[in-house]
C-alpha cells in the first residue's frame, strides 16, 4: 500500500509557522515511506475566503522546498483539489448517509439555535444540538421539504457507545458518544461543512495517514463516525502539539507576526527554518542539531513526537540560520543572497552590481561568520560600496587606545599611510599585511592599538566592523590609501 498524506488548509490568510511544521512532518513521513504528499484547498467556507491566499500558500511551499507530489499546480488523478469544485461529489455521498439513516434533515432556524446555545451557556452546560429534528417522523420531514423549508443535514450520533481511535502520538483515545455533537454535515447553501468534506475527500484521495494539529482531536470522533457510517477503512491519525511563545502563550496572529512569508522577508534561510521547527516537538534522540533534509527524512519518526507544546524562539532560529550561513561555500552563499536581494531589496542589488564579483566574494568570505540573517549582508557591507563618510571625532578618538585627540589620530594615520605607500610588496595576503604593519609599528616604538584603531575607523567609519587587518585585505592597498588620505584631509 502506498502511503498518502495531505496538507489541506483553508485559504483564509497567510501560512502560519506552526502550519509549516505540520506540512514538514507530513512531508518527512511521506518521503521516508516513498509515499505521496498531496495539497488540497478546503475552500467551502466562502465567508472566510481571502483573495490571493492560495497563490501565497503555493509560493511559500515552493520557497521552502516542500513541493506537493499532487495538487492544484501538479494535478494527478485524484482531483479536483478545490473543495468548491467537488460539490456534486458531496451531494452524492450525503444522499447515501440519508438513505442509510446515518444522517437527518434539521429545520431549526438560526434564532432557535442561538437561543439554545445561550440557554446551555447560562446553565454551564456543553453547547451542542438537542436533537430536536432527529426524531421527526419521515412524514413530518417530507412535509417540511415539500413546503420548501430551509434545512441543514446533521450527523446521527449513536447513543450510549464509545468512540475509539489510535493516535500515533498519543496512543488510544476514547470518547463517549454522549459528548459528541450531532454536527452539521451539509449547510443550507448546499456547501458541505469541513467535517463532512474532509472525510469524503480523504477517502476518495486514498489518504492513509492524517498528520495534523492536536486542536483537531475533539473533532476526530465525528470523523471516525463518518468513516464507520460509510463502511470505509479509517486512516491512521497523528495529532502533533502546538507551537507556543515563551510563557506558553498560543502562537497566533494576535501574539506576533508568525507568517512564514514574514520570516522569509526577514531573510531567514528556508533550510534553517525547517531544521529548527522540525525539532520543536520532535526528539531525534541525538545531540545533533543541524540536519540536512535527507537526514531529517531518514531519522523522523511520529512515535518520537512529543505530546506537549514546544516553545518557538526567533532568536534560537537565528542561531540555526547563522550556522547554515557559516557552512556555505562563499559562492553558494552569494547566489542565495542575490536571490534574496532580487526579491526584497533589488535597489541594493543594482547598486553593488557594478563592483567585481571577486571583490564581493572577498567581502563575504570575511563577513559571513558575523551574519545571523541574510539581511545582515547589507548592514555589514554598505560602507564597502560607498565613499567614506564624514569624520566622526567621537568614534575615532579612543583614550583606551592612547588616542587622546585628533592630533594623535593624524599621527597614527600618517604612520599607516607611510606603511602602505612605502611597502615594496603588494600586501596581497593576510599574513603579509599583518607582518608588515606589526613590524613597522614596533620599529616606531608605538602601540598596536594606537595605529590600528584609527585605521579601522578611517576605513569603515563604523562603530562595529571587521578588524583593520580584514579591511585592508578586502579594500586592497590602493583603496586603503585613498580612504586614509581622505580622512587625513578632513582632519
61 within 8 A of 213, measured Cβ to Cβ: no
Q: Distance between CA 22 and CA 361 in Å, rounded?
A: 37
Of 172, 300, 155, residue with least CA distance to 236: 172
Q: Distance between CA 124 and CA 349 in Å, rounded?
A: 61
Length of the chain: 491
Q: Please identify which of the residues 95, 132, 250, 253 carries the catalytic annotation.
A: 253
Residues with Cβ within 8 Å of residue 357, at least 6 apart in sequence: 334
253 is catalytic: yes
- Cβ-in-10-Å burial (0-12, 13-18, 19+) of 399 comes to exposed
Helix (H) or strand (E) holding 39: strand 36-39
Q: Distance between CA 224 and CA 447 in Å, rounded?
A: 79
Of 465, 364, 454, residue with least CA distance to 417: 454
7 within 8 A of 68, measured Cβ to Cβ: yes
The full 3-state SS of 110-175, as one line of letters, equals HHHHHHHHHHHHHCCCCCCCCCHHHHCCHHHHHHHHHCCCCCEEEECCCCCCEEEEEECCCEEEEE
Helix axes 357-367, 330-344, angle to 10 degrees: 100
Helix (H) or strand (E) holding 212: strand 209-213
As beta bridge partners, residue 16 has: 259
Q: Are strands 236-240 and 249-250 parallel, antiparallel or unpaired?
A: unpaired
Output b/e per residue, 312-335; b: 16+ Cβ within 10 A: bebeebbebbbebbeebebeebbe
Q: Which backbone phi and psi does 297 adopt, to 5 degrees?
A: -60, -40
Three-state secondary-structure class, residue 254: helix
DSSP class of 180: S
Helix (H) or strand (E) holding 6: strand 4-7
Catalytic annotation, residues: 253
Amino acid at each position: 500500500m502506498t502511503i498518502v498524506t495531505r496538507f489541506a488548509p483553508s485559504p483564509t490568510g497567510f501560512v502560519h509557522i506552526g502550519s509549516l511544521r505540520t506540512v514538514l512532518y507530513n512531508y518527512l513521513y511521506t518521503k521516508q515511506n516513498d509515499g505521496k504528499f498531496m495539497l488540497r484547498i478546503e475552500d467551502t467556507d466562502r465567508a472566510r475566503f481571502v483573495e490571493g491566499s492560495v497563490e501565497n500558500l503555493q509560493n511559500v511551499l515552493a520557497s521552502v522546498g516542500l513541493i506537493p507530489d499532487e495538487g492544484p499546480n501538479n494535478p494527478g488523478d485524484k482531483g479536483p483539489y478545490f473543495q468548491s469544485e467537488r460539490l456534486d461529489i458531496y451531494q452524492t455521498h450525503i444522499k447515501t448517509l440519508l438513505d442509510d439513516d446515518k444522517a437527518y434533515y434539521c429545520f431549526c432556524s438560526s434564532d432557535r439555535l442561538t437561543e439554545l446555545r445561550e440557554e446551555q451557556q447560562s446553565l454551564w452546560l456543553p453547547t451542542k444540538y438537542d436533537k430536536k429534528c432527529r426524531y421527526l417522523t419521515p412524514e413530518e420531514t417530507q412535509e417540511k421539504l415539500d413546503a420548501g423549508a430551509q434545512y441543514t443535514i446533521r450527523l446521527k450520533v449513536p447513543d450510549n457507545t464509545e468512540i475509539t481511535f489510535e493516535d500515533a502520538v498519543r496512543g488510544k483515545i476514547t470518547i463517549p458518544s454522549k459528548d459528541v455533537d450531532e454536527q452539521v454535515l451539509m449547510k443550507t447553501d448546499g456547501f458541505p461543512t469541513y467535517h463532512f468534506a474532509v472525510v469524503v475527500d480523504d477517502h476518495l484521495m486514498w489518504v492513509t495517514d492524517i498528520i495534523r494539529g492536536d486542536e483537531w482531536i475533539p473533532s476526530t470522533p465525528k470523523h471516525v463516525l463518518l468513516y464507520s457510517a460509510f463502511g470505509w477503512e479509517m486512516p491512521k491519525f497523528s495529532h502533533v502539539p502546538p507551537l507556543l511563545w515563551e510563557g506558553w502563550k498560543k502562537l497566533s496572529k494576535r501574539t506576533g507576526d508568525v507568517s512564514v512569508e514574514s520570516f522569509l522577508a526577514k531573510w531567514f534561510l528556508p533550510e534553517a527554518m525547517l531544521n529548527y521547527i522540525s525539532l520543536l516537538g520532535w526528539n531525534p534522540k541525538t545531540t545533533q542539531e543541524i540536519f540536512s533534509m535527507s537526514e531529517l527524512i531518514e531519522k523522523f519518526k511520529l512515535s518520537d513526537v512529543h505530546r506537549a507544546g514546544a516553545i518557538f524562539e526567533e532568536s534560537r532560529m537565528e542561531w540555526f540560520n547563522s550556522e547554515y550561513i557559516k557552512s556555505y561555500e562563499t559562492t553558494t552563499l552569494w547566489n542565495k543572497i542575490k536571490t534574496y536581494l532580487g526579491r526584497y531589496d533589488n535597489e541594493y542589488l543594482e547598486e553593488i552590481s557594478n563592483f567585481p564579483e571577486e571583490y564581493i566574494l572577498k567581502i563575504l568570505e570575511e563577513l559571513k561568520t558575523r551574519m545571523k540573517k541574510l539581511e545582515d549582508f547589507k548592514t555589514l557591507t554598505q560602507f564597502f560600496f560607498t565613499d567614506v563618510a564624514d569624520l566622526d571625532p567621537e568614534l575615532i578618538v579612543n583614550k583606551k587606545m592612547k588616542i587622546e585627540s585628533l592630533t594623535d589620530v593624524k599621527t597614527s594615520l600618517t604612520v599607516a599611510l607611510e606603511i602602505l605607500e612605502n611597502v615594496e610588496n603588494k600586501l596581497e595576503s593576510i599574513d603579509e599585511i599583518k607582518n608588515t604593519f606589526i613590524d613597522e609599528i614596533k620599529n616606531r616604538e608605538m602601540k598596536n592599538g594606537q595605529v590600528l584603531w584609527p585605521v579601522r575607523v578611517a576605513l569603515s567609519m563604523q562603530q562595529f566592523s571587521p578588524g583593520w587587518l580584514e579591511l585592508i585585505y578586502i579594500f586592497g592597498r590602493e583603496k586603503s590609501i585613498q580612504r586614509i588620505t581622505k580622512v587625513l584631509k578632513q582632519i
